[in-house]
Amino acid sequence: MNKSLDPRINRLNIDKYPADLTRKVPLDQFGTYEVFTQSKTEQPYQHEGIVHAPSKEMAFIFAKEQFSRRMTCSGLFVVETKNIFVTATTENNINVYHTVSEKFDTTGHLEQYEFFHLLKRGKQHLHVGSIEARNAQEALALAKPAFSEEDPVLNAWIIKTKDILFSSEEDTIIWNTLPDKKFRNASAYKASDKIKAFKESQKSTL
């Protein structure tokens, strides 16, 4: 290949790498973890998106920079996508809890489950609370009275608390300097004075 304009690329010695590409085997990739962040301590946790990672710990490390490198953050957690129980998404603004059966399986032992609700299509799931139950179906049925009369919930996610990796209290200092990263925000780049001064100088030279 010709010399690149990018010195980093010239250091890569691209020609050393074979040009043929072996197609990746299907699923030559990590599982995905869903990421939730809390912008301030009084705010609910909100779903942000996913990271691909080989373990919870790595998912946490990745999520921190992909989803909380701006603004403020007071907590973050990750959970493997496959560990989330998902209800159907309802039609016509029907509350999903109205469709939940009163009957449920009673197998399993008591564990804590976290609840997340979607209140509007296109928005994020928000954390609303937790409940103890023997399985996800029971948790959903137990939650029914609490949420049936509220704003319609279009979709609910239920996650066993123990499947989640939370940021620890002592680690929250990792977000301490976020407010100082002004260079990542539009507000740090004001230059209207410079334009004004330039226009003035143009006028005076005419």
Partner 1 sequence: MNTDAIKELLYKIADDQLIIGHRNSEWTGMGPILEEDIAFSSMAQDKIGQSYALYQLLHDLGEDEPDQVAFMRKANQFKNSQLTELPNGEYDYSLLRHFLFDTAESIRFEFLAQSAYSPLALLAKKIQGELRYHTMHANTWIKQLGNANQESILRLQASLDQLFPFALGIFEPSPFENVLIEEKIFVGEKVIMQKWQEQIAKILNATELLIPSFSEPAIYGGRFGHHTEHLTLLLEEMSEVFRIDPTAEW
Partner 2 sequence: MYGGGNTFDPITDTKQATEDPQKLQEFEARIERGEKIEPSDWMPDLYRKQLIRMIEQHAHSEIIGALPEGTWITRAPGFKRKLALMAKVQDEVGHAQLLYAAAETLGKSREQMIDDLLEGKSKYSNIFNYPAFTWADACFISWLVDAGAIVNQLANSKGSYGPYCRALERICVEESFHLKYGHHCVIHLATGTDIQRKMMQEALNRWWEPMMHFFGPPDKVSVHTEVLMKWKVKMSSNDQCRNQFLDMYVPKILELGLTIPDPLLRKNPETEQWEYTEPDWEVFKKVINGDGPCNEERLAVRRVAEARGKWVRQALLKPKTEYVTPLA
Contact footprint for partner 1 (CB under 8 A): 7-8, 11-12, 51-55, 57-58, 61-62, 64-66, 69, 171, 173-177, 180-181, 183
Q: CA–CA separation, 112 vs 154, rounded Å?
A: 22
- Nearest to partner 1 of 8, 162 (CB atom): 8
Considering CB distances under 5 to 8 angstroms, the limit depending on partner class, which of partner 1, partner 2, none binds residue 203? none
Tell me the DSSP string of 97-146.
Answer: GGGS-S-----S--EEEEEEEE-STTS--EEEEEEEESSHHHHHHHHHHH
For residue 35, list its beta bridge partners.
Answer: 49, 78
Task: Pick one of partner 2, partner 1, none as the site partner of residue 191 (Cβ within 5 to 8 A by kind).
Answer: partner 2
- Partner touching 121 among partner 2, partner 1, none, CB below 5 to 8 Å by kind: partner 2
Consecutive H or E run containing 8: helix 7-10
Q: For partner 1, which is the closer residue by CB, 12 or 88?
A: 12
Dist. CA 73–CA 179, nearest whole Å: 10
Look up tokens 């072996």; give the residue: 22
DSSP-derived 3-state class of residue 25: coil
In this complex, which beta carbon is closest to partner 2, that of residue 17 or of residue 103?
17
Summarize as ranges the residues that interact with partner 2 (CB under 8 A): 1-2, 4-9, 12, 14, 17-19, 21, 23-24, 26-32, 34, 47, 49-52, 54-55, 58, 66, 70, 81-82, 84, 86, 88-89, 91, 118, 121-125, 155, 157, 181, 183-191, 194-195, 197-199, 202
